[in-house]
Amino acid sequence: MSQSKWQASGSEYRILWAGHEWSLRPDDECPGLVRPGLPASIMALEGVAASGRSDPGAMSGKTLAGVELFRSRVEATYAPPDWGGLKIRASWSPTEAGDGMDLEIQVSATSVDELRTLEVFVVSRFLDPGSPTADQLSSWVYPRDPCSAALSYDGREPGRMLTRLTTLPVPLADVRFCKPVAMMSPWPSLPGYYVGMIHPQDVSRQIVLGKGPLEPSGGFAFGTRHGLFGHDLEKGVVVRGRMRGLWVRGAELAEHTRTAFRRFLESPPPLGM
């Protein structure tokens, strides 16, 4: 199996990444990259939200409108009902160098004045979301601006999450928002760190998951949730966002992350988006 190509088997797609096999099922409840038999998911789709409402199952087998293996990408389109004609296209593809994985999200709608401050959630975590440990995690929110800082409290987040949620200060204009987040690998067979990054202009809130009352330091996060976009979505408007995931060895973490993030920010969007 080539590291740079997906292999389809029914509704499942498999690929070698960082020397290990990963699978993707676009019809899962939370579609993303998983290692079979292990409680982890990378760049998984975790629903949509707008002012006063959220739908964790908006991107699942129940709303899947189509899947296509196009060039080096697995493209899945979702059409959740009662969301103003919202369509979400997610495309997972290996990077050209073969050391990373990209996720591109594209959204559009047919409604007018219905989808306010729309967010599409993408999560990466090394825990089963139904485990007792997952229920004890705290959320540390890095907002893009004052408007996105208020999104956690407009009714889109469940009350049980708000009891363990801390919104950090809005960044100054000259401070880079939304830096890459590193998570230590829980698997001895895959040492090092998973590093997730996203274009700052594509995300409204970066939510880092930690355990305990203190903000997790570098490499010790349990997961990340990214609320993409956070804009009003009108008929005829198409919005796109990009993310990238890498596996990095511990000794190379700081330098490799800086270099990789710079390259990611400078890279053009892929053809076909």
Does a structural domain hold residue 202? yes
What is the pLDDT, as a whole number, of residue 1? 41
Which residues face 224 on adjacent strands? Answer: 124, 208
Instruction: Give the DSSP letter of residue 219.
Output: B
Contact yes or no for 190/18 (Cβ under 8 A): yes
CATH code where residue 168 lies: 2.70.98
Token pair 């020397």 in the structure block, residue: 19
Q: State the residue range of the domain holding 194.
A: 7-266
Tell me if 143 is assigned to some domain: yes
Q: Which residues pair with 141 in a beta bridge?
A: 167, 207
In a domain? residue 75: yes
Q: What is the pLDDT of residues 71-112, one digit of tens each?
A: 889 999 999 999 999 999 999 999 877 789 999 999 999 998
- Residue 272 in any domain: the answer is no
User: Does any domain span residue 201?
Assistant: yes
Provide the pLDDT for residue 104.
97
Residue listed under structure tokens 């991107």: 59
Query: What pLDDT was estimated at residue 78?
Result: 98
For residue 26, being part of any structural domain is answered with yes
The pLDDT of residue 40: 83
Written as one string, the DSSP assignment of 112-142 is: SS-EEEEEEEEEEESS-TTSHHHHT-EEEEE
In the predicted model, residues of the chain with pLDDT beneath 70 are: 1-4, 128-135, 174-175, 270-273
C-alpha distances (whole Å) from 39 to each of 69, 165, 187, 216, 254 are: 26, 23, 11, 21, 27
Q: What is the DSSP string of 37-79?
A: TSS-EEEEEEEEEETTEEETTSSSTTTEEEEEEETTEEEEEE-
Question: Is there a domain that residue 2 lies in?
Answer: no
Residue 95, domain member (yes or no): yes
State how many domains the chain has: 1
